[in-house]
Structure 1
Amino acid sequence: MRRIGFIGTENSHTDHFIRFLNAEGRHPGFRAEALVGGRSTRNDALATAGGIDLVVDKPEDLLGHVDAAIISTRDGAAHRAQAEPLLSAGMPVLVDKPLATSVADAQAILAAAEAGGAPVVSCSALRFVPEIADLTAQGRGPLRQLTVVGPADPDSEYSGLFFYGIHHVEAALEILGNPVVAPGTLDVDVSRHGDTVTALTRIGDVDVVFTFLAPSETQRTPFHATAVHTDAVVARELTLGPDYNAPALARFVAAVESGRSPVSGTELLSPVATLVAITDALRKDRV
């Protein structure tokens, strides 16, 4: 039995992962076995729902008790400190989006994974929605422009645009065929008007527009992508079903079984490099 520990249990994604593993048994041989964060009302509820006995204080306390870990902490700025000691010790880790909120932190996570010989997985659920296949179908002329729209708040307490904006970026890169975006290579024009941030850049040979709309208590803009080809325009809402976290868990289970990360470090770094370029441009625009 491969045992999985959970970090960042305040995130509702943890409920999904524990349900898939313990309640529904979707991955035989894998089980949620530990929670990080100490005893709390939230962790007690998760422990009861999942039949989990072990609750520890710190991520490092998982070492020796579990075989893999899932980090779902809402603020990606904390992911490096939580992932590094586990990866360095050889433990596979799924870092729920985003991998990190800075290039330096993302590179440190990848370096720890390499040093420890441990697979690391990180991905947006939007990469797996069925509409992506419609947007990447063959038989159309060259792609000239791609627009991705969705909710994200530059003033979020969870590192601003990174909390939800990483979805825009990962969806765009998936549609574009996952080109490598090296840190510091993107020029970004950005503007902010009230609750709306618009960023224009060029990735490969395609103009890419990201529109981030801050959600309110009563409204949330749906994720949407529009691909403009030389002979067609394809527009799709990107819909997340009730089991939208299932593909990420399946990817992680496969990585644990194989002992290999499913994508390269450069591919994992590219979304972070892209969103850092956008947030840096936004910061300069506001000065």
Structure 2
Amino acid sequence: MRVGFVGTENSHVKHFIRLLNLEDRHPGHRAVALAGGRSEHNIKLAEYGGLDVIVEEPTDLLGHVDAAIVCNRDGGLHRSAAEPLLRAGLPVLVDKPLATTIEDAAALLDVAQDSGSTLVSASALRFVPEISQFTTDHAEHGPLRHVHVVGPADPDSEYAGLFFYGIHHVETACEILGNPVLRPGDLRVQASREGDTVWASTTIGRTVVTFTFVVPQDDGRVPFHATAIHTRGVIASELSLGPDYNAPALDSFVEAAQAGQPTLSAEQLLSPVVVLTAINEALEGAR
């Protein structure tokens, strides 16, 4: 499988190239092409990974690659980058977030379904080892009643505000809750902002879900952390991202592309965008 990349300004692209070409984590799969033109950055990336092709536009990848990874830091660009590739039938991994509007996310999912292409998108926090200790029903602690996720995110980020990092919080909660299907209008959200911190709360099923988004500072940032409160106990853990934090997403993509079947359903992929959109709307209404 020949893999091409869009949104090469994202450091994740270099990670994926390392995993594919330098470390050969997936024999028979190779990074071969970059979109975005012959910038100094792209030339260095190509030299780093031994890539042969640099093109201008995402559509120029067609004919050069068998699959694509879209990594734009601004998730608002993901639809325009991924849609023509999906329409052509290519498997596509869209780095978080899938999109920054429900309309764009739904459009990508519709195109993937119509063309029979495989669309994968996931926060790296879905795969961290600590996530496995969280469950909706715990043998010792009982049913889950409250999930709280903390982490860095800036509502004023130039990369679509809370969607840039806040999608990590939301996908973590969705993973803990078993990836429920949520549709526009399903959620009632309360949100507020005080200086560098945003709080949001909602209820998903029978579980209260709260989020704390803290703006990263020059001297550091709050770590990602999750707390699950059950009827008879509490589980809490920092969520650590190691140097290979992009590897599980790549593993999932390769597996899904080979099987022709995404890991999550279209409705499950849309749900985090539904949640974060509702949070943004509540935050806007609170001003």
TM-score range, shorter chain: over 0.9
2:131 equivalent to 1:138: no
Separation of aligned partners in 1, 2:202 and 2:170 = 11
2:32 equivalent to 1:38: no
User: CA RMSD for the aligned pairs?
Assistant: 0.8
2:107 equivalent to 1:78: no
**1:165 maps to amino acid:** G
Describe how 1:76-225 pairs up with structure 2 within 5 A: 76-136=75-135, 138-139=138-139, 140-225=141-226
- Secondary structure in 2 aligned to 1:48? helix
Separation of aligned partners in 2, 1:256 and 1:237 = 31
Report the count of equivalent residues. 285
Separation of aligned partners in 2, 1:202 and 1:170 = 15
Separation of aligned partners in 2, 1:114 and 1:179 = 20
Q: TM-score, normalised by structure 1?
A: 0.98
Could you tell me whether the CA contact under 8 Å between 1:135 and 1:236 is conserved in 2?
A: no
In structure 1, the residue matched to 2:8 is 9
Separation of aligned partners in 2, 1:64 and 1:265 = 27
Separation of aligned partners in 1, 2:180 and 2:106 = 18
**1:153 maps to amino acid:** D
Separation of aligned partners in 1, 2:219 and 2:5 = 30
Unaligned runs of 5+ in 1: none
2:205 equivalent to 1:233: no
> Identity of paired residues, percent?
62
- Secondary structure in 2 aligned to 1:142? strand
Could you tell me whether the CA contact under 8 Å between 2:142 and 2:231 is conserved in 1?
A: yes
Separation of aligned partners in 2, 1:217 and 1:90 = 43
Separation of aligned partners in 2, 1:238 and 1:255 = 25
Q: TM-score, normalised by structure 2?
A: 0.98
The CA deviation string for residues 107-151 of structure 1, in whole angstroms up to 9 with x for no partner, is 000011011110000000000111111122731211111100000
The CA deviation string for residues 95-114 of structure 1, in whole angstroms up to 9 with x for no partner, is 00000000000000001101
Unaligned runs of 5+ in 2: none
Separation of aligned partners in 2, 1:32 and 1:184 = 40
- Secondary structure in 1 aligned to 2:286? helix
Describe how 1:272-287 pairs up with structure 2 within 5 A: 272-286=273-287
Moved over 3 A (4+): none
- Secondary structure in 1 aligned to 2:226? strand
Separation of aligned partners in 2, 1:190 and 1:181 = 18
